Structure 1
Amino acid sequence: MDMKQRRQWNENHKRLKEIILKTEEHSKAVQLFLNQHSLLHSSSISQMVHETLEDKLMKNLDETTFRQFPVPNPDTKNSIAWHLWHIARIEDMTMNLLVADEQQVLYSANWLEKMNISFTHSGNDMPEEDIAILSSRIDIHSLLAYRAAVGIQTQKVISSLKPGQFKIQVDQNRITRLFDEKAVLPNSRWLAEYWSKKNIAGLMLMPATRHIFLHLNKCVRIKEKLHKQTKKLILMKSVP
């Protein structure tokens, strides 16, 4: 997914925002959402022909770069590992808990054990020592598998919604579940309050698409900067 394709993604997102609440455009909105969403996950979950943004990130991504924390980027200190985990958790809890009122994917197949972590929350307001622990311990392949499982489930959830349902406001009982299931920490209550003011369309336009797009772009920038630094160090060492 090159810069031209990313600009097109932004244009399509604007188009989705224009039509998502129009009942007569429901089918088009669903299809556009599914396409936008697929471009943010591995091409393996949707058999896409084109390289996705996740594909671009994972290409030639070494483990050291994946786990490094803190990173030297001006807009984030967090590792690529943290960003991928964070967007997977946000998507999981908003789509399955707030939209579908169903079980989170996290609890469907021992994902915490597979990922070798114990954190169940979104990662917002996370102490740096915990970010460091997650970045060093999380199992890369299981994290990517969990993210793929979340993506597949999101597409099922949104495809099952009927015309008019995108206008439905988030139910307060589902907001309560965020805290009951420790998906959102008490000191991140602001996040739950933000979601409580959204309708399903709002959750589709941010947590399930644009939020992921922004974080994956950050990850690509982290990778590119760290790889440049590594090449520079190698070059310096090679000079007599």
Structure 2
Amino acid sequence: MDLKQRKIWNENHKILTDIILKPDEHLQAVQLFLSQHSLLHSSSAGKKAKATLADEVLKSLDERTFRMYPVSNPDTKNSIAWHLWHIARIEDMTMNILIANERQVLFADNWLKKMNIEFAHSGNDMSEKDIALISSKIDFYSLLAYRTAVGKRTRDIVSSLRPGQFKEKVEPKRIKRLFEEHAVSQNSQWLADYWSKKTIAGLILMPATRHNFLHLNKCIRIKDQINKKTKRTC
């Protein structure tokens, strides 16, 4: 997914924003979402023939680059490992708790054990010590598999929504579930407050799409910067 394709993605996201609350354009909105979303996960998740933004992150990604923390990018010092885990968790909890009111993918197949981590929360307001820990310990392939499982579940959820549901607000009891299941830490009450004001459309337009897009782009910038530094020192 090159720069031209990313520009097209942004343009299509604006179109999705314009139509998502119009019940008579529901099917078009769902199809556009599925297209946009597929470009943010590996090709296998969305069954895309062309390379996706996630594929671009993983291309020639070695373990040292994946785990490096802190990094010296202007907009983040967190590792690629943290960013990929963070967006997977945010998508999982917002889609499965706040929209579908169902079980998180995280607990459906023992993913915490598979990923070799103990953190079930989103990673917002995480200490440097814990970021370093997750960056060093998380299992690379299990993380990718978990994120793929989350992406596939999101597609099922959005495809099942009916015309008019995009306008619905998040139910307070679902916000409560975030804390009951330790999906959001007590230090991140602001995040739950932010989501509590959103409609389903708002969650589709940020956690399920643009949030992924922004963090994947950060991952690419991290990878490119580390690779450039490595070449200069060789």
For normalisation by structure 1, the TM-score amounts to: 0.97
How far, CA to CA, are the matches of 1:65 and 1:127 in structure 2?
A: 21
Q: 2:153 maps to which residue?
A: 153
Instruction: Return the letter of the residue paired with 1:203.
Output: L
1:18-33 → structure 2 map (5 Å cutoff): 18-33=18-33
Contact 2:39 2:46 in 1 (8 A): no
Instruction: Return the letter of the residue paired with 2:116.
Output: N
How far, CA to CA, are the matches of 1:81 and 1:92 in structure 2?
A: 17
Unaligned runs of 5+ in 1: 235-240
Contact 2:39 2:52 in 1 (8 A): yes
After TM superposition, give the deviation of residue 107 of structure 1 in Å. 0.1
Please list every run of at least 4 consecutive aligned residues from structure 1 whose deviation after the TM superposition is greater than 2 angstroms: none
CA RMSD across the alignment: 0.3
Instruction: Return the letter of the residue paired with 2:207.
Output: P
Cα deviation 1:23-71 (Å, max 9, x = unaligned): 0000000000000000000001122111100001100000000000000
How far, CA to CA, are the matches of 2:45 and 2:172 in structure 1?
A: 32
Instruction: Return the letter of the residue paired with 1:60.
Output: S
Contact 2:68 2:135 in 1 (8 A): yes
Residue correspondences, number: 234
How far, CA to CA, are the matches of 1:132 and 1:162 in structure 2?
A: 42
Larger radius of gyration: 1
Cα deviation 1:101-159 (Å, max 9, x = unaligned): 00000000000000000000000000000000000000000000000000000000000
Q: 2:64 maps to which residue?
A: 64
After TM superposition, give the deviation of residue 165 of structure 1 in Å. 0.4
1:1-240 → structure 2 map (5 Å cutoff): 1-234=1-234
Contact 2:124 2:188 in 1 (8 A): yes
Contact 2:67 2:135 in 1 (8 A): yes
What SS class does the counterpart of residue 206 from structure 2 fall into?
A: helix
What SS class does the counterpart of residue 147 from structure 1 fall into?
A: helix
Instruction: Return the letter of the residue paired with 2:100.
Output: A
What SS class does the counterpart of residue 48 from structure 1 fall into?
A: coil
How far, CA to CA, are the matches of 1:20 and 1:103 in structure 2?
A: 25
How far, CA to CA, are the matches of 2:45 and 2:187 in structure 1?
A: 34
Instruction: Return the letter of the residue paired with 1:44.
Output: S
How far, CA to CA, are the matches of 1:106 and 1:187 in structure 2?
A: 21
Identity %: 68
Contact 2:66 2:79 in 1 (8 A): yes
Once structures 1 and 2 are overlaid, which stretch shifts more, 46-55 or 116-125? 46-55
Contact 2:116 2:137 in 1 (8 A): yes
Instruction: Return the letter of the residue paired with 1:9.
Output: W
How far, CA to CA, are the matches of 1:89 and 1:219 in structure 2?
A: 16
For normalisation by structure 2, the TM-score amounts to: 1.00
How far, CA to CA, are the matches of 1:115 and 1:162 in structure 2?
A: 34
How far, CA to CA, are the matches of 1:188 and 1:229 in structure 2?
A: 35
